Structure 1
């Protein structure tokens, strides 16, 4: 195939999902790509993520990773809502809870990284500390690896994006706290949990646990709880654990056991449930991708949309011969409507842990009915599908 981006230098911030995906596509079109990641290695925390519909799966197939992802899919199936005695109240169908393909985020990140590692430079344990755009490029200062000039900077560094802050201003202008926090951790599976997530609720709080698909001796806990906005820069591991313990103190079911496991963990996924809204995703030579541009924590289709966005950004750059003045507006026009379908008005905290007893009762009554479940499955599949997405490989 032709290499329309040969000689184009791109610096991508973030080695989660969207970053390695766009890096692979850009390198495929001939670009010289470096990915910088603040973590010292690929992250191993996070939850299962899912893909659904022909758009998500079509992009994964075009990357050549679909079969590899299917080999590590979770097969988690349905999600079970239980009472404090462990009795099942209702069960959500597998198609809603896990889409057509569900994998652990860490497996997805690893596979995308490995797909492009032979042609993409990765700098772990580093970050962008300053950038200046000029007519002929972007001068970038890295915390450890010095300075360099590139043609384009891609901020694929999540909801707390450093690139967005450097280019567009403080996080407070773009990220809205939605009144909840979530956390996840691993623990020994010494109570025989199976792979179906069991979810226990009281108003404003949800706790869930399930066995690890590939290691039945391990289990994963997930909690969601109503909480005011916290200063994340001051939340070290001990403070995060204290917030969770305080929020769930006194609850029944397996909650005391999950909290006991929490005390021993050396690593914890912890974040606010928030929504990102950015009026414009690009400047002349910098562009946002994935959660940095359109994220909602636990938003359901954020990862799939990020992978599609990576495909579209690289494709538009290839069609434009690497000219960001043409490609970046075209990418934003292509992706903004698609990303906003599922992001608009979404608050996963309200869905997972309704704040009032009335809200929890109503949610359970609705979700327990088959017509509502069928409608939700159809709706999520439609939201994930973009019939007008170009075949960039054919056009290039």
Structure 2
């Protein structure tokens, strides 16, 4: 079904103007240079790096430095940072700006992963109002003319919502836009995103663009979110897994054009092969690139008549030649399967009690003992 078209105004994020108000959501282990380049080949918008830990970046660990490297074709360059210490986050932002490594910087306050929230990071952090404000204000100051944005969730759970208060604090700090994933950390990716919460944030935040995130599986969903919530743009995550052509659909829809991609099995195979090739280039290692493409098999071939044995072999591929041999056995003329290839993808998880530091919910302000306990929160390269 073709999406109902809508002519949408460009999205302005500080000095950046996006003709198509679409942002690729940072996804750990997914939105590396290879996937971002592939998505760009299909559509337009802002394509954000996977989440980088600010401490690892300040320490210039080899992996963090590799993750922030953009291909020469990537413009604008967008990096998402995760951190819990205002000083370290500011230092990371200062480094990115001073070394001209980014045209846009986003701060993550939405990650629901237990290893992040149990240390007070991600979606848990806005509960501590002073800490959130200090991080955002320091980062905006360090960013200077580079637009700095925030992405967050509704809160920790339905009894501990933070998004309206955090949104107002972020706007007051001078961020260039605010993105809301309309779920709590407790919901993870389960159930249905609360789009009315996006509308409520948009009503609350009057001078800063608000972006909506959650349950965008098609261009029609994106247009419906804008129509129902009044948000200024959309952030697309799991909906593009194995479907980079979704960004072409989104670009057409927001430009008021009628277009929906219905790729044949051969076209999907060609895109899958292109993704693998870009991963090999990104890692500069054929074995590692082929190992990484394995996790994308189920997403790309969702709904298509690809037998279980072939799927299993694709999920153990070890070289580009082996990949080519396997893809050559597909019936390339098989048409788009319709609904079988559409809809939700990626792990939704189940609602669960978020992992938090001891006593985290006892106060909205950060106690001294809690501040010292955050020291281990940034040990990984990527927080996601």
TM-score class, shorter: 0.3 to 0.5
Scaled by the length of structure 2, the TM-score of the pair is 0.32
Scaled by the length of structure 1, the TM-score of the pair is 0.31
Higher strand share: 1
